[in-house]
Amino acid sequence: MTSTLFSGGTVVDGTLGEPAVADVLVRDGRIVDVGPPLGVDADVVVDCSGRTVTPGLFDCHVHVMIEQPSMVQVLQTPFSLPFSEAADRLRRTLATGVTWVRDAGGPTSASRRRCAAG
Protein backbone atom coordinates (compact mmCIF):
# COMPACT_ATOMS: atom_id res chain seq x y z
CA MET A 1 0.00 0.00 0.00
CA THR A 2 1.55 3.31 -1.09
CA SER A 3 0.52 6.67 0.27
CA THR A 4 1.08 10.26 -0.77
CA LEU A 5 0.41 13.29 1.41
CA PHE A 6 -0.22 16.57 -0.41
CA SER A 7 0.62 18.98 2.38
CA GLY A 8 -0.10 22.62 3.08
CA GLY A 9 -1.95 23.62 -0.08
CA THR A 10 -5.11 25.67 -0.27
CA VAL A 11 -7.75 22.99 -0.71
CA VAL A 12 -10.92 23.55 -2.74
CA ASP A 13 -12.94 20.44 -1.88
CA GLY A 14 -16.29 21.12 -3.54
CA THR A 15 -18.29 21.32 -0.30
CA LEU A 16 -19.08 25.03 -0.79
CA GLY A 17 -16.90 25.79 2.22
CA GLU A 18 -14.23 28.44 2.00
CA PRO A 19 -10.94 27.19 0.56
CA ALA A 20 -8.50 26.56 3.41
CA VAL A 21 -4.97 25.34 3.96
CA ALA A 22 -5.21 21.59 4.44
CA ASP A 23 -3.67 18.23 3.61
CA VAL A 24 -4.90 15.58 1.19
CA LEU A 25 -3.96 11.95 1.86
CA VAL A 26 -4.00 9.49 -1.06
CA ARG A 27 -3.56 5.74 -0.60
CA ASP A 28 -3.27 3.43 -3.58
CA GLY A 29 -4.58 6.12 -5.92
CA ARG A 30 -7.67 7.00 -3.84
CA ILE A 31 -8.30 10.04 -1.68
CA VAL A 32 -8.79 8.77 1.87
CA ASP A 33 -8.68 11.97 3.94
CA VAL A 34 -8.82 15.72 3.51
CA GLY A 35 -8.43 18.13 6.38
CA PRO A 36 -6.28 20.38 8.47
CA PRO A 37 -2.71 19.19 8.89
CA LEU A 38 -3.26 15.45 9.19
CA GLY A 39 0.00 14.57 10.93
CA VAL A 40 0.30 11.20 9.22
CA ASP A 41 3.34 9.43 7.85
CA ALA A 42 3.22 8.86 4.11
CA ASP A 43 5.56 7.22 1.63
CA VAL A 44 5.75 10.48 -0.33
CA VAL A 45 5.09 14.00 0.93
CA VAL A 46 4.44 16.73 -1.63
CA ASP A 47 4.77 20.30 -0.34
CA CYS A 48 1.88 22.25 -1.85
CA SER A 49 2.44 25.48 0.09
CA GLY A 50 1.30 28.48 -1.93
CA ARG A 51 -0.59 26.28 -4.39
CA THR A 52 -4.20 25.25 -4.89
CA VAL A 53 -5.21 21.60 -4.49
CA THR A 54 -8.47 20.29 -5.95
CA PRO A 55 -9.00 16.70 -4.80
CA GLY A 56 -11.46 15.75 -7.50
CA LEU A 57 -13.39 17.86 -9.97
CA PHE A 58 -17.08 17.84 -10.91
CA ASP A 59 -18.62 17.80 -14.38
CA CYS A 60 -22.35 18.40 -14.13
CA HIS A 61 -23.17 17.91 -17.81
CA VAL A 62 -21.79 14.84 -19.54
CA HIS A 63 -23.18 12.29 -21.98
CA VAL A 64 -21.38 9.02 -21.32
CA MET A 65 -23.87 6.83 -23.18
CA ILE A 66 -23.91 8.76 -26.45
CA GLU A 67 -21.35 10.79 -28.32
CA GLN A 68 -22.83 10.62 -31.80
CA PRO A 69 -23.36 13.94 -33.56
CA SER A 70 -26.80 13.10 -34.98
CA MET A 71 -29.98 11.28 -33.97
CA VAL A 72 -29.72 9.12 -37.11
CA GLN A 73 -26.35 7.78 -35.89
CA VAL A 74 -27.81 7.19 -32.44
CA LEU A 75 -30.64 5.13 -33.97
CA GLN A 76 -28.22 3.17 -36.15
CA THR A 77 -25.95 2.22 -33.25
CA PRO A 78 -26.36 -1.32 -31.88
CA PHE A 79 -28.14 -1.29 -28.51
CA SER A 80 -25.26 -2.69 -26.42
CA LEU A 81 -22.44 -0.61 -27.94
CA PRO A 82 -23.02 2.57 -25.85
CA PHE A 83 -22.56 0.57 -22.63
CA SER A 84 -19.02 -0.48 -23.49
CA GLU A 85 -18.24 2.96 -24.89
CA ALA A 86 -19.50 4.54 -21.66
CA ALA A 87 -16.93 2.60 -19.64
CA ASP A 88 -14.11 3.96 -21.80
CA ARG A 89 -15.46 7.52 -21.63
CA LEU A 90 -15.71 7.33 -17.85
CA ARG A 91 -12.16 5.96 -17.61
CA ARG A 92 -10.87 8.88 -19.71
CA THR A 93 -12.90 11.34 -17.64
CA LEU A 94 -11.41 10.00 -14.40
CA ALA A 95 -7.90 10.23 -15.87
CA THR A 96 -8.39 14.00 -16.34
CA GLY A 97 -9.15 14.50 -12.63
CA VAL A 98 -12.95 14.55 -12.81
CA THR A 99 -14.19 12.26 -10.04
CA TRP A 100 -17.92 13.06 -10.10
CA VAL A 101 -20.23 13.44 -13.08
CA ARG A 102 -23.90 14.04 -13.73
CA ASP A 103 -25.02 12.44 -16.96
CA ALA A 104 -27.49 14.78 -18.64
CA GLY A 105 -28.72 11.90 -20.81
CA GLY A 106 -29.57 9.64 -17.91
CA PRO A 107 -27.63 6.37 -18.03
CA THR A 108 -29.33 3.27 -16.75
CA SER A 109 -29.06 1.94 -13.22
CA ALA A 110 -26.91 -0.85 -14.68
CA SER A 111 -24.25 1.72 -15.63
CA ARG A 112 -24.40 3.25 -12.16
CA ARG A 113 -24.01 -0.20 -10.54
CA ARG A 114 -21.09 -1.02 -12.82
CA CYS A 115 -19.30 2.20 -11.82
CA ALA A 116 -19.88 1.44 -8.13
CA ALA A 117 -18.37 -2.00 -8.65
CA GLY A 118 -15.20 -0.44 -10.07
What is the per-residue pLDDT across 61-77, written as a single tens digit (0 to 9) for each? 888 888 767 888 888 88
pTM of the model: 0.60
Q: HEC profile for the chain?
A: CCEEEEEEEEECCCCCCCCEEEEEEEECCEEEEEECCCCCCCCEEEECCCCEECCCEEEEEECCCCCCCCHHHHHHCCCCHHHHHHHHHHHHHHHCCEEEEEECCCCCHHHHHHHHCC
Tens-place pLDDT, residues 19-37: 999 999 999 988 899 888 8
Bridge-based pairing of strands 52-53 and 98-103 is unpaired
Of 15-19, 91-95, 97-101, the poorest mean pLDDT is in 15-19
